[in-house]
Chains A and B, each alone.
Chain A
Amino acid sequence: MADEAFLRISNIVKDFDGHRAVDHVSLDIAKGEVFALLGSSGCGKTTLLRMLAGFETPTSGAITLDGRDLADLPPYARPMNMMFQSYALFPHLSVFDNIAFGLRRDKVARAEVESRVAAMLKLVQLEPFAKRKPHQLSGGQQQRVALARSLAKKPQVLLLDEPLGALDKKLREETQIELSRIVDDVGVTCVLVTHDQEEAMTMASRIAVMSEGRFLQVGAPAEIYETPASRFVADFIGNVNLMDGTLVEVGADHAVVDCGDVRHRVGQGVDGARGTQVAVALRPEKIKLRRDALTSPATPEAGVNRAHGKITEVAYFGSFTVYHLQMASGRVVKVSQSNAERQPGTPLNRGDSAWASWTDLSQVVLTQ
């Protein structure tokens, strides 16, 4: 195994009363990395994070930090700090005392506590609020206090439990960027738990998609989005058209999948013999929608990588519009078109007949 692993999770299992929350999970996280555990609620991501923090004991398996086994270390002795979901700020203490709490437990000298807290307040831009109580702050400010508190002790690993979950959408986007900046500035190794894929993708350098206690795929955000390893991952991350079909042609540099009313020509090799049942994943934004049946120049073979149907739904999102194109079989292809121009010539409306087409590098063929 690589020596660069800073935080290593080896074969961790956690059972709760006969229910397996985390199922044989292994992971190496490098120093300075921002790693996201992404999954819907109940997938085991929070349990895994709590085992890192020491609030839960693994049923089996080991966690090591910089080569040191953490099994015997109680939460208060671990060189990790956690930013809790909805923050868990101490309501009876001021912002200053909240941030100083951890330092005081370590018997840090008074002057040092003051300078360290001042530095933290500066980092999160809350200097004027040092004397306020948490309930006198807005949600975004509380979030920053929680971050400052968890960074005050200079932890080797920062654990973030749904760091933006309690904020409304607008504030979340701003805070996401701000949080990324601070984490980068400090250069701390981060493990982040979230159910929000945007949060995971914008903040993390690597993501693990979790379901039912297992990792389904681990990789960089773009890798997970563009080359999902399974139907579940393709479906979980972003929007996707999943079409079931049969491999009818397998070549070294291409493959053809017959999905009934759509025939896919894929411009890359595929694992699997002819006749294998597969699914083709096609992201809505990789599809072009037209009134006429132009063949895409990247599609030499006629009759492939296109679909014809009637528009049944038009949803306008501002920067893009989502269309539902219903094919003859009744199945629907979702198409997302960017609204690059303010006034398109003749907009497509509900009830219009249209053609969808895509290039042969747009799809991913999934065998599981």
Chain B
Amino acid sequence: MKAHARRGRFAVIAVPYAWLLVFFLLPFLVVARISVSEMDATTIRDIVTWKDGAIAVHAKLANYLLLVQDDLYLRTYVSSLVYAAVTTLLCLVIGYPFAYFMARSRASLQPALLMLVMLPFWTSFLLRVYAWKALLTERGLAAEAIEAIGLDRALAALGLIPGPGQLMNTPFSLVLGMTYTYLPFMILPLYSNLAKMDLRLLEAAADLGASAWTAFWKVTVPLSRAGIIAGAMLVFIPCVGEYVIPELLGGPQTQMIGRTLWDEFFSNNDWPMACAVAVTMVLLVIVPLAVFSRYQAEAAERAA
């Protein structure tokens, strides 16, 4: 009976891990292998060869060297990280008050508000991004509204668009599109965190002399840390590698790593180079996250 239960538990854990192994780790290893391979016209050469009783390992690191040497790649990586970070920050600034008031609204109203946040998922993401194209082109609805309130002049002054009235294919349209797309991923974890909060803690803070504003910064925000981190990861990670939005809403100024990847694969047909770009991107995102989560675990352990 006991062994039975243990086997059942093992199976429950093993299935998702097996899924990740087959559909993430193995493909990643394949990609990693290609990134150090030589390529003939259409075939990829083996790394390890067996000839005359000798094992020859032929790993080409030139692609990685090129990544460091050619500052196009470096700039693309940096700008991907910057756009992802700016998007994450905007999502947090917009999403936090949203999630906060949602969590504090009447209990009977909350399911409806939650539904509204998830409603955009009912139409294809691609369609919604295309819609922004229409909204932001000259004489588009959003473009006219932005021009009417003079926001485009401010954006131009900040250098986010080349000039008044030119909103499409700019850093502005790119960040707008990414923020719009990823906002629900910020709101949902924040909401579930804030809804769980014990409101008596705010009363305790008020009782001890904290104004509503102080109580927010000293109690609500620190207690929602887990929600902020979860939301930030859900936005930041996919944003770094985002391809569709930069392709549709970005411009020549907004080179992002996803597009570089596409170009290497399909324009240059340089698979090893493309794979090197992909491996670097994954490492770039995963390594800081691993360090961070390890630090988190250590902090939790120290507290316990």
Decide yes or no: A88 and B198 within 8 Å by CB, A105-B214, A133-B303, A136-B304 being known contacts.
yes
Mask: chain A, 68-101; 1 = CB below 8 Å from B; 0 = not? 0000001111001110100011111000000001
Nearest to B215 among chain A residues (CB) is A76
Interface residues on A, range: 20 to 34
State whether the Cβ of A14 lies closer than 8 Å to any Cβ in chain B: no
Residues in B neighbouring A136, C-beta threshold 8 A:
303-304
At the interface, yes or no: B209 with Cβ under 8 Å from chain A?
A: yes
Give B207's nearest chain A residue, CB to CB: A82
Contact B206–A76 (Cβ < 8 Å): yes
Chain A residues near B222 (CB-CB < 8 A): 92
Asked if A53 lies at the interface with its beta carbon under 8 angstroms from chain B, I say: yes
- B304 — nearest CB in chain A belongs to which residue? A136
Q: Which of A75, A89, A91, A106 contacts B207 (CB 8 A)?
A: A75
A106 in contact with B200 (CB, 8 Å): no
Of B204, B207, B214, B225, the contact of A90 (CB 8 Å cutoff)? B204
A91 touches B204 (CB 8 A): no
Total B residues in contact with A, Cβ cutoff 8 Å: 20
* A153 CA to B205 CA, complexed, in Å: 13
Scoring A91, A105, A149 by chain B CB atoms within 10 A of each residue's CB, the highest score goes to A105
Contact of B210 with A84 in the complex, beta carbons under 8 Å: no
A106 contact from B203, B206, B209, B225, Cβ within 8 A = B209
A76 touches B207 (CB 8 A): yes
* Chain B CB within 10 A, most for which of A80, A88, A150: A88
Cβ of B145 < 8 Å from any Cβ of A?
no
**CA distance in complex: A54, B28 (Å):** 60
The answer on a CB contact under 8 Å between A153 and B208 is: yes
Q: Which of B209, B223, B225, B303 contacts A76 (CB 8 A)?
A: B209
Q: How many angstroms between the C-alpha atoms of A300 and B208 in the bound complex?
A: 63
B204: chain A residues within 8 A (beta carbon): 82, 84, 88-90
Contact flags B181-220 to A (C-beta < 8 A → 1, else 0): 0000000000000000010110111111111001000110
B203 adjacent to A55 (CB under 8 Å): yes
User: CA A92 – CA B203 in complex, angstroms?
Assistant: 16
Q: Which residues of B contact A106 (CB under 8 A)?
A: 209
Closest partner residue, chain A, to B206 (CB atom): A75
Which single member of A76, A91, A101 contacts B211 (CB below 8 Å)? A76
The minimal Cβ–Cβ distance linking B99 to chain A, given in whole angstroms, is 18
CB of A32 within 8 A of chain B? Answer: no
Could you write out 6 A-B pairs with CB less than 8 Å apart?
Answer: A55-B203, A74-B206, A82-B203, A88-B201, A91-B201, A136-B304
Query: What would 4 more interface pairs be, CB under 8 Å, given A76-B207, A90-B204?
Result: A76-B206, A76-B210, A76-B211, A88-B198
